[in-house]
Amino acid sequence: VVTLPAELSAAELREGLGRNANELSGLYPIVDESGKLRGAIAGRNLRALADLELAGEAAVQLADIQPTDLVLATPGETMRSIADRMARTGRTSVPVVEDERTMQFVGMITLRELLAARQTHLDEEVIRARHLRLPLGARQSTATTARNG
Query: In the structure, what pLDDT confidence band is assigned to residue 77 with cuts at 50, 70 and 90?
Result: very high
Average pLDDT over the chain, rounded to whole?
80
Average pLDDT over residues 10-32: 75
DSSP SS3 for 18 = helix
Average pLDDT over residues 109-137: 79
Residue 117 to residue 14: CA distance in whole angstroms: 36
In the predicted structure, residue 58 carries a pLDDT above the cut 70: no
Residue 75 to residue 88: CA distance in whole angstroms: 20
Residue 37 to residue 8: CA distance in whole angstroms: 14
Query: Which residues fall within 8 angstroms of residue 85, CB to CB, at 6 or more apart?
Result: 71, 73, 91, 94
CA 93 to chain centre: 4
Q: Which residue has the higher pLDDT, 79 or 24?
A: 79
When mean pLDDT is compared across 7-21, 65-79, 105-119, the lowest value belongs to 7-21
Query: In the structure, what pLDDT confidence band is assigned to residue 20 with cuts at 50, 70 and 90?
Result: low
Does this model's pTM top 0.85? My answer is no
Percent of the chain with pLDDT over 70: 70
